[in-house]
Amino acid sequence: MKRAGFSTKWMPILLLLPQLVIIAVFFYWPAAHAIHSSFFLQDPFGFGSTYVGIDNYTDLLGSSEYRRVARFTVVFTVLVTFFSLALALLLAVKADNVLRGARTYRTLLMWVYAVAPPVAGFIGLIMFDQSWGPLTRFAGYLGWDFVLGVNFNDTATAMVIVSVWKQIPVNFIFFLSGLQSIPRAVREAALIDNRSATGRFWDVTFPLLAPTGFFLLIINITYALFDTFGIIDTLVKGEPGNNPMTLVYKVYVDGFRGNDMGGSSAQSVILMVLVLALTVFQFRMIDRRIHYT
């Protein structure tokens, strides 16, 4: 087979240059600036800065509030990732079996993907409105006095529900594509070997979806950590107070509202290192157990 080539060695570099410039401007330069700022105590009015070494890091690690936010972030990420993947997989399996009205059914499940996170948060505000929100009324029928923005657990529940609802369509699209790529011969052979639909799913379908599931696992963890910012900011109504918040939202609150640029920079560096370590762990430990052929 003839390999494609370039007439000059500068052509591939030229083609890669726009993407490299974007990465350098919007990732490497801000990351380097954050690392530099994390070692300084900066004047909130921008008149100067004082070198404090690792004091910003030690203050964070010794802060009970930061540990509380970190624990909530872990719980929030696990819940959003699990329910987003589980519900999307369930809907994808059901959609794959639909014969009539399949296109309409899939479209209704996918349209949420076009909703921006702040808009999803605003929809959550409407659904959980204290006076006439339908989900608030439903919780009232169950004896649950749901108070968004005041009660910590109620606000956390709303954050999880809205975040899961926003992410399900993305997972649904990938899972459905993975299910439809399974050869018909494999499905027929599984039907002969195992008459149980549940048994066929766990023994045949689910292992074949492992590469898709692993990819979505990383995407959903990243989504729960970073892309839920707009949802959280809308639901807490710009007044976090004692409401739950994630580590990413705390970086924003401390940096842009508390004017603690050094401390928020240290938080962003810690978060960057944790995400990098988590990604390496996933690829080293989990990817070994997944077969792509």
Question: pLDDT of 35-71, one tens digit each?
Answer: 888 888 877 676 778 888 888 889 888 888 889 999 9
Asked whether the whole model's pTM tops 0.75, one would answer: yes
Q: What is the pLDDT of residue 100?
A: 58
Record the tokens describing residue 158, joined without a space. 């709303």
Using CB atoms within 10 A of its CB, is residue 236 exposed (0-12), middle (13-18) or buried (19+)?
buried
* Residue-level pLDDT at 82: 96
Lowest mean pLDDT among 96-100, 121-125, 157-161, 221-225: 96-100
pLDDT of residue 86: 94
Structure tokens belonging to residue 14: 């030229």
Q: Return d(Cα 105, Cα 94) in angstroms, integer.
A: 10
Q: Which runs of consecutive H residues, i.e. helices, occur in the chain? A: 10-23, 29-37, 55-61, 64-97, 102-110, 117-127, 134-141, 152-180, 184-193, 197-200, 206-208, 210-222, 229-235, 247-252, 261-281
Structural domains in the chain plus CATH codes: 75-239+274-287 (1.10.3720.10)
- What is residue 256's predicted lDDT score, i.e. its pLDDT? 82
2-16, 80-94, 220-234: range with lowest mean pLDDT: 2-16
What is the spatial distance between Cα 109 and Cα 88, in angstroms, rounded to a whole number? Answer: 9
Angle at 180 between CA 174 and CA 181, to 5 degrees: 90
